[in-house]
Amino acid sequence: MRQSLLALLARGPAHGYELKQDLEQLLGSAYPQPNIGQIYVTLGRLEKSGLIEGEDVEQAGRPNKKVYHLTGTGREALRAWFEETADEPRVRDEFFMKLALAPQTGLADRIALINRQRRQYLNTMRQLSKLAAAEDRDNRVAHLLIEGAMLHLQADLDWLERCQEELEELE
């Protein structure tokens, strides 16, 4: 959330509700909708860190609103973030841990675990397909997000198939 807010503020000042709307519009319905409370907490932390500055703006007949803008330090932090690569191999996968530990506990069957996880992935793919059909065709970012999620799910399904084949050979 931190870098997302910094990136949105890089184009110009905004208040929390504008940032929430911008994220929703950019990422579409497949991405979990940001919580306004989380946005304001994150903005407060970014301000304390010196990455953004907030300014109270008076409004006629309404309470003041706080508009935030990126500082030079924030711009440099954002540049550094864009330079970083995402190194997130799924070595610490919770499902795999269940699969590995099931025989030692006697509480779960590994093939049943695989089948249950497969059903979950297929249900998620169906939900994403519905979201893709309902999403605004002009929102290419949202469609790319959905497509990426579906490709990851397909890879996970292929991997589950491989796990099942290996485990059935052991039996």
Do 65 and 95 lie in one domain? The reply is no
Do 74 and 125 lie in one domain? The reply is no
Where in the sequence is the domain holding 29, given as residue range(s)? 2-83
Do 35 and 71 lie in one domain? The reply is yes
- pLDDT at residue 1, rounded to an integer: 86
| pLDDT over 70, % of the chain | 96
Do 22 and 73 lie in one domain? The reply is yes
Give the torsion sign (CA, 28, 31, 34, 35).
Answer: positive
- pLDDT at residue 31, rounded to an integer: 82
- Joined tokens for residue 39: 């946005």
Residue, of 127 and 87, whose pLDDT is higher: 127
Mean pLDDT (the chain, rounded): 90
Of 83, 110, 139, at which residue does a domain stop? 83
- pLDDT at residue 101, rounded to an integer: 85
Do 141 and 76 lie in one domain? The reply is no
What is the number of structural domains in the chain? 2
Do 140 and 100 lie in one domain? The reply is yes
- pLDDT at residue 77, rounded to an integer: 94
Tell me which residue of 129, 92, 95 sits closest to 115, measured CA to CA: 95
Kindly indicate the confidence band of residue 163, based on its pLDDT and cuts at 50, 70 and 90. Answer: very high
- pLDDT at residue 38, rounded to an integer: 94
Do 95 and 57 lie in one domain? The reply is no
Of 32, 54, 83, at which residue does a domain stop? 83
pLDDT at 94 over 90: no
